[in-house]
Amino acid sequence: MSKLDLIKTDYGPCNINCVFCRLHKSPPPSRSSKQEILSQIRACKDAGVEHIRITSGEPTLDPNFLDYIRFAKELKITTVLVETNGIKLAEDEFIEKIAKLGQVTFLINTPSHKKEIYEKITQTPGSFENHKKSLENLAKHNFKFIANIALINLNYKFEDVKGLIEFLKETGLEVNHITLRPLRVNLKGSGEDIYLAEYAALGREIGKIIKYCKNQNILVQGMPAFSIPLCACQGFEKFFAEDPKDKWEQMNQFFFKLNICKKCKIEKYCPGVLKFYNKKFRPTPYTEIPETLKV
């Protein structure tokens, strides 16, 4: 089995405070003991899982973080992916300890290459220097790297993401994989609506980003269908229709379908429009279905 299984480490206060963060407003999840997390990793191995993703609030802050990586490596789990803001990786001693344990793939929260925007997003003055150092450290130790970009109205434009990719390359990182995550608002306590980008513009910019990345041999993954309707991703509707449907079906209560959705070819793959979005941008710009999608 080649499944990516999620391991959530201990949940504590974060070392930055992203404006979009959906965790701030969530009820605190129950904490797992070190033994429970090690048992979860063991259970993955026993079930034949080859890829695990370690995440949390901020997993690198868990005092047992290195033990989890060590254990997963001892079990020879093929891919150990850590989803992190990376701030702690700026500490040479810390990243050297990880490097000694073997290859880890880091999915790094990289919202912007501009100090001002980065610190506006993280609401943490001085955090950009740490961020930059952590990227350089990742490059220095040849860790595998994926850029994780939460798209909000401060960083969603093509030029923003292109500039970000160039900046990441300048730090010495090999950039061959990015993930795009448009802001999810009001889903189980998510980010603030003031950071929501308008769907049509967001879809257009995502289209340009995908084209650019294709030319640069950069794999793009994403989950726009969690937050923007597929008709907003014109030209890339099918790409995003690959999102696992069962995931957004659990969130149906937060979405609604417009009357015109009945005439759309990919209606069954699309979650529809976020209720919250409609409230903010009403009247919704979605009054017409693109010709290519008409039934």
Ligand X SMILES: C[S@@+](CC[C@H](N)C(=O)[O-])C[C@H]1O[C@@H](n2cnc3c(N)ncnc32)[C@H](O)[C@@H]1O
CA distance 253 to 246: 13
Lookup: tokens for 175: 């950039």
Lookup: tokens for 262: 């009945």
Least distance to ligand SF4, CB of residue 197, Å: 17
Binding mask 46-65 for ligand X (x = CB under 6 A): ---------x--x-------
Binding mask 77-96 for ligand SF4 (x = CB under 6 A): --------x-----------
- List 150, 168, 273, 289, residue binding ligand X (CB under 6 A): 150
Residue with tokens 């790094």: 108
Segment contacting ligand X (CB under 6 A): 81-89, 133-141, 213-221, 286-294?
81-89
Query: Using the rule CB under 6 A, is 32 a contact of ligand X?
Result: no
Q: Is the dihedral of CA 258, 260, 261, 262 positive or negative?
A: positive
- Tell me how far CA of residue 223 lies from CA of 122, 140, 149, 151, 179, in angstroms: 22, 30, 11, 11, 8
Query: Using the rule CB under 6 A, is 130 a contact of ligand SF4?
Result: no
- List 5, 10, 83, 160, residue binding ligand X (CB under 6 A): 83
For residue 211, the tally of other CB atoms under 10 A from its CB is 14
Query: Using the rule CB under 6 A, is 134 a contact of ligand SF4?
Result: no
Q: Is the dihedral of CA 79, 80, 85, 89 positive or negative?
A: negative
In the complex, which residues of this chain contact ligand X (CB under 6 A)?
20-23, 55, 58, 83-85, 109, 148, 150, 181, 183-184, 190-191
In the complex, which residues of this chain contact ligand SF4 (CB under 6 A)?
14, 16-18, 21, 23, 57-58, 85, 109
